[in-house]
Homo-oligomer: A and B are copies of this chain.
Amino acid sequence: MNKYNQIYSDIVADIDNQRFAQGERIPSETELMSQYQASRGTVRKAVDMLQERGYVQKIHGKGVYVLKPGNIEFQLSGIVSFQEMNDRMGRQVVSQVAALEAVLADAALARQMGVAEATPLVKIKRVRNIDGENVIVDINHFVAELVPGLDAGVAAGSIYHYIEQQLGLTISYAQRIIEAQPCNEDDRQYLDLNGMDHVIVVKNLTHLYDGRLFEYTESRHRLDKFYFTDIARR
C-alpha cells in the first residue's frame, strides 16, 4: 500500500475506534512525519483525504479536529454497493433476481446513457427485501461487451464484486441523480407499497477508470425506506 494510504487508514481506524475522540486534535503534521518517517507532503495528502471524506476539519494555525465519527458509518458518499452498505448496517436483507435478459438500447435509454442506439445491454431486475418487506427495485443496464459471463448466478450475489475481482475492471466514478417519480408498473408489481403512490429514484451512471460508461442503474425506493446522507463542502 501507499504510504499516504497507510497513514490515512490508520487514522480512520483510530477515529472509528474512538482512540481519537470527536472534537479532539489528531497529531500535528510534524508529529505524523516523525511517526511515519514521511515527508510533509505525504502526511498532508493523507490528512486532506480525511477532510474530503468528512472525518476531520483542518483549521489554519490550530490543528486538525475530529468530526462526529458516528455519521461516517451511515454515509453514502462514494460509490457503495447495496451489499457493502447492508453489511455495514447489519440489516436482514434478501435480494431476489426478478429478471435477467439481453436487450438493445432503445432511443430513451441510449440518450440517457450516452451510447449508440441498439447497443447490446444486459438488463437485470432485482428486488431487495429488508426486514420482511420488498422496498427497493434495482434495474441495472450493463454494457454487454464489458461484462462477459454476467449470468443469474452472478446477479444473485454482488455484481460489483464480480466486476472488480473476477473481470479486473476498475470502477472510478458515477454521476448520481436523485428524484421522486409516480409509481410505475414495476413498482406496483414488485414492491409492498402500502398505498404510497410515489417512489424515490436514484439513477446511477457508473464509469470505469478509463472513462467508459459501464452501467446505468435505477434504484426505485419506497418513500419511507429511503435515506441518504453525505457531507458537502463549500
**Residues on A facing B (Cβ under 8 Å):** 23, 41, 52, 54, 57, 59, 62, 65, 67-68, 71, 76-79, 114, 171-180, 196, 198, 200, 207, 209-211, 223-224, 226-234
Assess the B223–A198 pair: CB atoms within 8 A.
yes
Assess the A234–B52 pair: CB atoms within 8 A.
no
Residues of chain B with a CB closer than 8 A to A223's CB: 180, 198
A203 and chain B: residue at smallest CB distance:
B229
Number of copies: 2
Assess the B228–A179 pair: CB atoms within 8 A.
yes
A207 and chain B: residue at smallest CB distance:
B57
Assess the A179–B226 pair: CB atoms within 8 A.
yes
Of B54, B176, B227, the residue contacting A173 (CB under 8 A) is B54
Residues of chain B with a CB closer than 8 A to A232's CB: 76-79, 173-174, 176
